[in-house]
Structure formats: C-alpha cells, structure tokens
Amino acid sequence: MSATQNVLTSGALRFGDTLRFPPFGFRARHRRQPDADALLGRVDADDWPYIVAFYRSEEAADANRRHLLPLFGSLICPSASAERSYWIMRQVELIAVMDDHFTLPDVIDDPVQLAALGDVYGRAVDGVRPSDAHPLAQLLHDTVRPVLAMLAPDASLPHRLTRAIHDVIDYLSHPVVHRMDALGFDEYLRIRRCETTAEWCALLVEFGIDVDMADALDDNADLREVQRAAADLIVIINDLGSFRREFSNDDALNGIWLLVRQQHLSVQQALDRFAALARETEDRLLTARDRVLASPLGRRDDVCRYMDELVFFYAGCAEFHTFSERFFGRDCAQAFYSGEVTIERLLLPQDIAGFSTHAQSLAKPRCEMSSLHDDAARIHVIDGHHADHYQDSIERVYADPPDEWRKIIGDEFWFQYGVFDDRTSRTGTPMDASGRRHMDRQFELAEQNGADLSVGSVRRAIDIGCGWGPVLKYIAERFPACTRIDAVNVSPVQMDYVRKSVERDGLADRVNLYLCNAKDIGALPEPDVPFDLAILRGSICQFTPEVMEDTMAALAERMRAGGTVIISETLYKTDLATYRPFIPDEVDRGAAGHRKTPEGVRKALESHGFAVLDERILPTNDEVVRWYAILRENIEAHYPSARSEVFQQLHDMSISLSDALEKDKVSSVSFIARRLT
C-alpha cells in the first residue's frame, strides 16, 4: 500500500467526522440539452442490458441508474443535436461504469487482471467486439463505433478520439494511485486530464457541436489554454465532488489527499483550497477565452461555439455533482451545492453486487437512510430563457456558511430590519425578536387595509428571495390551511440551509424549494393554481431594472385577483443620479447597486395591475439605524480583525446607510398591494 493510500487510515479523516463542502462559486452558468429528459429514458433502456450483465444484479443496476449518469452528457454539451446528445449520454455512462470496473478492489491491485482488461477494452475501441463475458467492453464498442461512423473519414477527430480513449484505458490499466507519492500537483493534474476522461469528453464536445478544432488548437496557445483549463476544472470538480464517495470506497486517488500529504493541510483546509483553485482556474479560462475573442481567431463561428461549449462543459460538470446520488448519496436529497456533511459509508452499486468487502455491513444503514429521507425536501432548479448576469454577484453575497451569518443577524435569520416597539418580544436576540415583530406589523397593516388574508383565504403563497427561510415557517404557522408555499432563491448555499430547516420543521410536504431567478417565477409548476399571497422582503434591491420588470409581469400573471403582495425594501428618497454614499461606492456592496425609489416601486406595481393599499416607512429610520448598530456590533465582536469580504461590505453599509437614514435620504418602505381583476 502506498503512502497516499495509507493516508486513508492515518486518522486525518474518519467515518462520523463532519466536513463542510464549500461552494464552487463559479461565474458561469450551466445549461442542459433541451431533449435531455426524453433522451434519458431512451439511454436507460438501451444501456440496461449491458449494466445488468456487468453487475449481475438488477438491484445494483437500478442503483447505478439512480445516479443519472447520462444526464452528465446533456450538461457538458447542451448545444448538441438530440441524436448526437444521445451518443454522448451513452458514452459518459460507459465512462463512469468502466472506471468503476478498473477500480474494483480485486482488480486495481492485480496487474494481470488490469492488463487483461486493458487488452479487451483496447480491442473494443479498434472494432473487435468482445464476448459476453465483458459487457462493459461491449458497450464501449457499441457506442464508439457509431460515433466514429458519423464523422468524416478525412477529419482529425476520429483519430484523436480513438487515441484519447486508448490513453484512458492505458492509464486505467496502470493505476496512478500506485505512483501518487512521486507526483507533484501539476503532474497529477496533467495525468488526470486524461485519466478522468476530461480530454475524452472534451472531444465529445467537438463531436456534439460538429466542429474539428485540431488546427485551431495547434495554431493558438490561448485556445489551448481554454481547453486545458476546462479539463483541469473537470479534474478539480470531480475530485472535490467525488471525495466523499471515494473515501467511502477506500479510494485514495484524489488530489485532496495530495494536498493533505504534501502541504500538511487538514482535510477541511484541502477542500477549501480546492474550491478556491476551481475559481482561480475558471478565471484563467475566461481570461484566455477573452484573448481568443480579441484575436482574428475569435471571428470564427466554430471557435466561438467551441469555447462557449467548454464553459458549459465545466459548469455542467459542477451542476451534475449537485444532484447525482453517485457523489453524495440519497441522504443529501436532490440538490447539494455546499454545506456540512457527516462522512459515512455510502452503499454503491458495486457493494450491492457483492464486489466489495464492506457490502454486507452497508446493507442495513442504506435501508435506514432510504426510509429516513422518503419525505425529504427537494430543491428544484428552474432555468430561465435568458440569463441574469447580475445573479452571480448575488450568489457571492450569500456564499459564506449560514453559521457565520447566524453570528451577526441572529438565530432565526431575519434580514430585513426590525421593529422595536412595546410589542416586540423580550426573548431571544434583538435581531430575532425585532425581525419577527417587523413581519407581524406588516401583516397587521395588510389586514387593517382590507387585504384578503383570512386563515382560509391563502392556499398558495410565494416568498420571492426567501433568504434563509424565516418567512416560510412564519407563513406556515399563520396559515395552517396553506398547503403550498413556494420558496424562490438564487443562492444555492441559502437554499440548502432552507432545505434542512424545512425538513427539521416538518414542512417538507408544504414548502416547495426552487433555485430560481425571480424573473422566472412564471415557469413554476401548476400555473392553474394562482398565488394568494406574495412576499418580497429585501429582494427588490438586488433586481436589475430588467429583472424588476420581468418579475412584476410574471407575478401579475400568476396572482389571483384580490391576492395580496407584501413588500419591504430599502429605497432612496433623493435623486439617484446625484446621491453619494458616506463611504464611496468602490465596490457593489451587498449586490445592491441597482438603487430604487418608492416612486419606482409604486409605479412597477400599478403598471402591472396592482393597487397599493398602504405605503409607509417601516421600520422607522431610527429603528433601522438601531438595527444597523446591532449588526455592526455583532460583526466587530465576532470578526474583530479578519472577516470575509461580504461581512466587511455589510459593516461599511451599516455606516453609510445609517448616515443616509439620519439625513432622511433613504428609508425602509413597506408596501401592501392587491392584485386587481
């Protein structure tokens, strides 16, 4: 056993330990091939005989099917035609299961078996169909040959693809884990670009969009850098995303262990370093892409489409890791973007098939895990027709762990100021009590102004920009007959916290979680069931003008006549063109740079068919100044010197906005509105 393999039993990580998996924080957005769902059924049916024959167990094959491996193919080349995407989806499933074959415990340490497998798979690539004793090699043959037949015989891509697959087989036959001790990190990345099939998949991207980039790559170093950075990102994403699974499978072939051993980092430090490395590598890729676009090569349509697809390539890889059971198991529900995870054994298809030594011991925990999460809350991703390029800025604001935010805004995560009156509870933290009282006060005003908010009148509600979710529980308690509460947010980190809170509070059957931009709420399910209540508290300040318009239009379309909208927002009562904050705007603090006025919000409501029932300053300026003073004290108490960039921005905002509040240039404004017929 190598020193790298020994690190698994060194005590650096044990089952039962808790790790925080950081978000990638990529600027790029993923996209999925439009026909992916239909193609998934077709691929599942066509690949099923091969997978069952390999595992010799329908139960194990079904567990593999739940990994949704073909969907990876729909994400790495979303612009492919349906027919080409079908073949990409089949190949990426084959790639994953083939890797599992070479890394089985009784194979990976047996040079004779490895050599024999390498020979069988290699001949399959060259057109020799293996016997029924090798169903996965048959699948390789049966998916590679049709792809090669679709390519022009005089093109370079058939030769390059064949060579890349042979390189992968050669690496799998000579496992890198056996020589990890001698590798530096750069050499590790170079090998893993091939060994993780990143280069194979990059060629499938060329196949998918029907381009041949050989000459352009040979001629342009910047384009090669784009491709290399994309492949590096696949390695980094896979290592971070696969870490838990690989530890469960006694697999030490992961760059995180390389950092632990060579740089003397803790496992948590290595995870954090990988996330930072992912962002650095994305920056490298995008910078190289911009150089290509500025060059004569950037005028070529095939080059531009190829670079666009390489961005989808890594963004799609990151997205796949959030929902596939292959990486985080069923205990992380349907979308895991970041957060704390207890390291436990995962039951893998090869365990069910009896291929591993700990299969028996895993059977019971896996069953218990399934029953525990039958009613788990699930995060549904809603992709819009066009991107909101400001969304990345918003996501970065909320990327810090919820436990860090809790220290400065309170245990209940109310984050829209507070009312400090004689009815404010004296229990809990001031932030929690005043935040609840602010929400109470808005509902009191709504009822006083004739809003239709009787207990039985609210059957469906939506919280647009739900943050960490305090309003969701509030609505559930206030309206027990409301069986559908839709939570909308763009922050994966916040939404994962909401998911856990909803499960803890027993609300998974009533609260629906949507990772969705506000402008896209028109795409939420069941449009025939209108919203009776809509909440927007502290979210409008982060809307671009375009998102504001689209959101109001979509909300008007989905609200029932007589339905109620409750808004609380920081708005400016001065000329925005001449307004200057006390601390100059050197950065876009809190992603709130698209400032708005009360008149602007009122006009947006009225122009989309809403009547404003009540508009007032709430909380008072003095109360908001008091709230900001508590916020600032909490930041200084918990982070006296080193603090995150976002928390420093909040600290500066508390000073600037307090100055503006005292000069009456800004206020927190409450709107109660009704949807007209």
pLDDT tens digits, residue range 303-332? 999 999 999 999 999 999 888 878 765 444
| Residue 223 pLDDT | 97
Q: What is the mean pLDDT of residues 643-648?
A: 91
Whether 7 is covered by a domain: the verdict is no
- Identify which has the larger pLDDT, 646 or 7: 646
| 376 within a domain of the structure (yes/no) | no
Domain's final residue, options 336, 369, 402: 369
pLDDT for res 178: 60
Instruction: Note the pLDDT tens digit of each residue in 65-116.
Output: 989 999 999 999 999 999 999 999 999 999 999 988 988 877 888 888 899 9
Do residues 169 and 120 make contact, with C-beta atoms less than 8 angstroms apart?
Answer: no
Looking at the predicted structure, is the pLDDT value of residue 33 above 90?
yes
Secondary structure (3-state) at 391:
helix
Q: What pLDDT shows up at residue 137?
A: 95
Note the pLDDT of residue 361: 40
Query: Is residue 327 domain-shared with residue 420, that is, in the same domain?
Result: no
Residue at 384 is within a domain: no
The residue range of the domain holding 276 is 21-369
Question: Helix 198-209 and helix 221-248: axis angle, to 10°?
Answer: 120
User: In the predicted model, what is the mean pLDDT of residues 642-647?
Assistant: 89
Task: Examine the pLDDT at 8 and tell me if it is beyond 50.
Answer: no
pLDDT band with cut points at 50, 70 and 90 for residue 7: very low
Closest CA relative to residue 590, chosen from 307, 333, 396: 396
Query: Residue 273: pLDDT above 90?
Result: yes
The strand pair at 511-515 and 379-381 is best described as parallel
Residues 459 and 580 in one domain: yes
Same domain? For 466 and 572 the reply is yes
pLDDT higher than threshold 50 for residue 365: no
Residues 6+ apart with CB under 8 A from 617: 667, 668, 669, 670
Residues 422 and 460 in one domain: yes
pTM beyond 0.75, yes or no:
no
Asked if pLDDT for residue 177 goes beyond 80, the answer is: no
Q: How far is CA 513 from CA 148, 526, 548, in A?
A: 43, 14, 21
Kindly state whether residues 326 and 421 are assigned to the same domain: no
Q: pLDDT at position 262, please?
A: 84
Do 325 and 189 fall within a single domain? Answer: yes
Q: Using the 3D structure, point to which of 369, 403, 423 is the last residue of a domain.
A: 369
Residues 583 and 176: their CA atoms lie apart, in Å, by: 54
State what percent of residues in the chain have pLDDT above 90: 65
Same domain, 560 and 508: yes
* Residues 555-571, mean pLDDT to the nearest whole number: 98
Q: Residue 4 falls within a domain, yes or no?
A: no
**pLDDT tens across 162-173, in order?**
999 999 998 888
Asked if residue 214 and residue 102 are part of one domain, the reply reads yes
Q: Judge if 345 and 440 occupy the same domain.
A: no
* Least reliable range by pLDDT among 144-148, 151-155, 565-569: 151-155
**pLDDT of 448 over the 90 cut:** yes
Is pLDDT above 50 for 374? no
Q: What is the DSSP string of 240-306?
A: HHHHHHHHHTT---SHHHHHHHHS---HHHHHHHHHHHHHHHHHHHHHHHHHHHTSGGGG-HHHHHH
Q: Which of 333, 354, 369 is the last residue of a domain?
A: 369
At 385 the pLDDT is 77
Interior CA angle at 248 toward 246 and 252, to 5°? 40
Does residue 381 sit within a domain? no
**Beta-carbon contacts of residue 138 (< 8 Å; ≥ 6 apart):** 50, 124, 129, 130, 132
- Residue 386: inside a domain, yes or no? no
Express each pLDDT in 484-506 by its tens digit.
999 999 998 898 899 889 988 99
Average pLDDT over residues 262-288: 93
- Please compute the mean of the pLDDT values over residues 614-627 and round it to a whole number: 98
Do 351 and 416 reside in the same domain of the chain? no
**Residue 453 reports pLDDT greater than 60:** yes
CATH of the domain at 411: 3.40.50.150
CATH number of the domain at 186, please: 1.10.600.10
pLDDT of 21 strictly over 70: yes
The angle that helices 185-195 and 198-209 make with each other, rounded to 10 degrees, is 50
Q: What mean pLDDT is reported for the chain?
A: 89
For residues 56 and 199, state if they share a domain: yes
What number of H helices and E strands is found in the chain? Answer: 28, 10
- 159 found inside a domain: yes
Residue 313: what pLDDT?
A: 95
- Higher-pLDDT residue of 234 and 346 is 234
Lowest mean pLDDT among 394-398, 510-514, 649-653: 394-398
Whole-number pLDDT of residue 335: 60
Q: Is residue 558 part of a domain?
A: yes
What pLDDT shows up at residue 359? 42
pLDDT at residue 357 greater than cutoff 50? no
Task: Please check whether residues 457 and 344 belong to one and the same domain.
Answer: no
Is the dihedral angle over the CA atoms 315, 250, 94, 228 positive or is it negative? positive
State how many domains the chain has. Answer: 2
Express each pLDDT in 414-424 by its tens digit.
999 999 998 98
Of all residues in the chain, the percent with pLDDT exceeding 70 is 92
pLDDT at 189: 81
The pLDDT of residue 674 is above 80? yes
For residues 134-154, average pLDDT: 93
Give every CB contact of residue 164 below 8 A, 6+ residues apart in sequence: 194, 199, 200, 203
